[in-house]
Amino acid sequence: MKESSDIEPVRDSFLPYGRQFIDQEDIQAVINVLKSDYLTTGPEIHRFEKRIAEYVGAKYAVAFSNGTAALHAACFAAGIQQDDEVITTPLTFAASANCVLYQGGNPVFADIDEQTYNLDPEEVRKKITSKTKAMIPVDFTGQPVCLDKIIEIAKEHDLVVIEDAAHALGSTYKGKKVGSISDMTMFSFHPVKQITTGEGGMITTNHKEYYEKLVQFRSHGITRDREKLMNDHGPWYYEMQHLGFNYRMTDIQAALGNSQLNKLDRFIFRRREIAIMYQKAFKDMDEVILPLQGNDGQSSWHLFILRFKSKKLFVDRKTIYTELTKQNIGVNVHYIPVYLFPYYQQLGYQQGLCPVAEKVYEEMITLPLHPSMTDEDVQDVITAVKKVIQKYSTNKGIK
Ligand SMILES: *Cc1c(COP(=O)(O)O)cnc(C)c1O
């Protein structure tokens, strides 16, 4: 076998796996806020919340400083406390489980389905105990989790469903937008997500009592609602009724969010186009497994993940990853199963807990996917992946 250096880079500039798309309108929207009276708790926040609620078809939306803060608030609103158990997936960003720990609860990891990479409802069922209070399913890569089954299980056991839709703004499940279905749904506006506010997050819900708790938690546990006050010292009086945080989004962020929201449908359209180009390019390659196209769900394609079959290649994922990086293709891996991190290992979670997630993790590589990619960029990725596969395929010479 020849040295790996025999692969020439397919491109000179580095192509990141994810990136924000900012135009002149976005810049102007931020400048306008900076010149206005309110940098925070102003009109842009209310407008952004209202527009996200309308977009997903939910009654309420509450903006947060980031998606992780939003998840924390949702755990609070769901009543998660000391020793409560909350079931989530290991194949996610650490925040999906950390938010349970913030409330003193225990994250419980259920294994994923090998085809969809989302939580397997049957595995969820096996993990339910008398201490289970909620579930945090994740719409991994933008592909909605099978919400019908998740909600059915939740109803049977009286659990709150907090959907982590950080990847899934604009995705639909059985014709309904993600964000209108679960008890609470979280969106993130980190720069790699469908739209950005720099940092930012949102919870959407149809339940007034969750809405009110989320708003209060976001601002120190303080209320100014005269009807809710336990005491009243006078017109200046406000009241802190539980321990909350300062998790507010600024109007600067919300203005960027409002401007980005105008482009969301275009962004998703482009993401879908790119995903289709990848699907077409790799569909006949025996060495890789393509992401499942939704039947119940329509993905807004936050991530495009290829699985490299270890039995069909001479090398492991690490070599493929390194070679693609050398060709200036910014690949990534989503995700390291959360409980394998040293912090979780110290808490007592053990390797082997979710064998499907661990196996899938070993074979996954995330390809670049963001709306500012040109067709040439997409072609570069395809060329680079094909080159690497051809170099290491056990089917060499057949194709
Ligand atoms: C991005 C992300 C989060 C956290 O959102 P932040 O806005 O970065 O705090 C949570 N869960 C998942 C699955 C994510 O991808």
Q: Determine how β-strand 184-188 pairs with β-strand 201-205.
A: antiparallel
Residue found under tokens 């709150």: 160
Assess whether 65 and 201 both reside in one domain. yes
pLDDT, tens digit (0-9, with 9 covering 90-100), for 113-131: 999 999 999 999 999 999 9
Asked whether 368 lines ligand 1 (CB < 6 A), one says no
Assess whether 187 and 104 both reside in one domain. yes
Assess whether 284 and 151 both reside in one domain. no
Tell me, yes or no, whether 398 lies in a domain.
no
Q: What share of the chain is helix, strand, coil (3-state, %, to 5)?
A: 40, 15, 45
Asked whether 96 lines ligand 1 (CB < 6 A), one says yes
**Degrees (nearest 5) of the Cα angle 154, 157, 161?**
25
Q: What CATH number does residue 281 fall under? A: 3.90.1150.10
Query: How many Å separate Cα 387 from the centre of its chain?
Result: 30
Assess whether 386 and 307 both reside in one domain. yes
Tell me, yes or no, whether 41 lies in a domain.
yes
Asked whether 93 lines ligand 1 (CB < 6 A), one says yes
* E-only strand ranges, 176-255: 176-177, 184-188, 201-205, 222-223, 239-240
The last residue of a domain, from among 261, 286, 302:
261
Between CA 215 and CA 335 the distance in angstroms is 31
Asked whether 164 lines ligand 1 (CB < 6 A), one says yes
Distance 361 CA to ligand 1 centre (A): 18
Distance 178 CA to ligand 1 centre (A): 16
Assess whether 205 and 333 both reside in one domain. no
pTM: 0.96
- Tell me which residue has its CA closest to atom 2 in ligand 1: 166
Count other Cβ atoms within 10 Å, centred on residue 28: 11
Asked whether 68 lines ligand 1 (CB < 6 A), one says yes
- Tell me which residue has its CA closest to atom 6 in ligand 1: 67
**CA of 192, closest atom in ligand 1:** 1
**CA of 188, closest atom in ligand 1:** 7
Asked whether 288 lines ligand 1 (CB < 6 A), one says no
Asked whether 192 lines ligand 1 (CB < 6 A), one says no
pLDDT at 362: 96
pLDDT at 4 over 60: no
pLDDT at 157: 98
pLDDT at 1: 47
Assess whether 238 and 369 both reside in one domain. no
pLDDT, tens digit (0-9, with 9 covering 90-100), for 251-304: 999 999 999 999 999 999 999 999 999 999 999 999 999 998 777 889 999 999
Per-residue tokens: 208: 């007034």
- Residue to mutate (ligand 1; options 20, 64, 65, 68; most atoms within 8 A of CB): 68
pLDDT, tens digit (0-9, with 9 covering 90-100), for 95-114: 999 999 999 999 999 999 99
pLDDT at 61 over 70: yes
pLDDT at 370 over 90: yes
Q: What is the mean pLDDT of the chain?
A: 96
Q: In what order do the strands lie in the sheet with 288-289?
A: 288-289, 304-308, 364-367
Task: Sort residue 220 into left (φ over 0), alpha (ψ -120 to 50) or beta.
Answer: left
Asked whether 64 lines ligand 1 (CB < 6 A), one says no
Count other Cβ atoms within 10 Å, centred on residue 250: 22
Which residue type sits at 98? Answer: N
Assess whether 240 and 273 both reside in one domain. no
Element (H, E) at 108: strand 106-109
pLDDT, tens digit (0-9, with 9 covering 90-100), for 5-59: 566 789 999 999 999 999 999 999 999 999 999 999 999 999 999 999 999 999 9
Which runs of consecutive H residues, i.e. helices, occur in the chain?
24-34, 43-56, 67-77, 95-102, 121-126, 147-157, 208-218, 251-261, 264-282, 317-326, 342-346, 355-363, 375-392
Give residue 343's domain range.
4-19+264-392
- Residue to mutate (ligand 1; options 92, 93, 162; most atoms within 8 A of CB): 93
In percent, the amount of the chain with pLDDT more than 90 equals 95
Tell me, yes or no, whether 131 lies in a domain.
yes
